[in-house]
Amino acid sequence: MRLGVIANTGKPMIVEVLKSFLKWLDQQSIKYLVDTDLLDFLNDSRLPHLPANKLGFDVDFVLSFGGDGTFLQTARSISPSQTPIIGVSLGGFGYLAEVSPDKLRDRILDLQQGKFHLQERMMLSAKVEGEETDYIALNDIVIDKGGFARTIKIETFVDGEFINLFNSDGLILSTPTGSTGYSLSAGGPILEPNCGSIVIVPICPHTLANRPLVVSHNRQINVITTSEFGTFMLAVDGQQVLELQSGQKVGISKAPFVTKIVCFEVSSFYNALRTKLRWRNQMDM
């Protein structure tokens, strides 16, 4: 078994956690590769390494140290390899990173013994007119008005059929995983993670009749955005941000990849919702 290590270097405790963990892996004779970007951060050029976008092809599992944001970045970086990810939580609200640093060594031993299960999460692909790059997201693709105070107009088509002209601050196209993120904040529904659906949520729509829409995962969604200022923004998982030209078409569909999440705890999605969203217990009523 060989592990890959990707980490958010902005976390205060990360140096101590990583150095201790890598030392323990050496003691256990467990092979590993670290993200090349960590070499200078850990001040150790001797560590075996590969760039994050190649790491997944040479390891059996990838550990993502940080929070949900780090997990999303890891998922996009290694998506072509389809390597399972273990989320190591270094604090925060997180839905995706379930392993705490104090339990990490036990979980690696569980991993060796096959005491885990995998969840597969759907991803989205965004294709921008005139560009060759496919932008991959685990949470959402967001069309946004950018820094201007005026709304934008977003023509929306599903499988070539015109659906609506949204006059709003933007549009969120979310996976089931992303339904508990920005989409939820904008009034979208919560979906079970294994639902085969895409959520379309207008952001602050000018017309109250504009409501969130859930479509099947096999639909092709096209949007054409008009901004009187000439540009609008496209955000991928809230981390990759592009400025696009007014009138430029963006196609969104299910990605050819999934994110495989390593899970150790047997916990229901609804229990997670009650915990994370602090829903009331029956006994509190």
Task: Please report which residue ranges of the chain form alpha helices under DSSP H.
Answer: 14-27, 38-42, 52-55, 68-78, 104-112, 182-185, 269-276
Q: Are strands 140-144 and 231-236 parallel, antiparallel or unpaired?
A: antiparallel
Cβ burial 109-133 (10 Å sphere, 16+ → b, else e): eebeeeebeeeebbbbbbbbeeeee
CB atoms inside a 10 Å sphere around CB 8: 17
Cβ burial 180-214 (10 Å sphere, 16+ → b, else e): bbbbbebebbebebebebbbbbbbebeeeebebbb
Active-site annotation holds for 68? yes
H-run or E-run covering 200: strand 197-203
Q: C-alpha angle 48/106/103, rounded to 5°?
A: 95
Catalytically annotated residue among 37, 60, 68, 106:
68
Residue numbers annotated as active site:
68
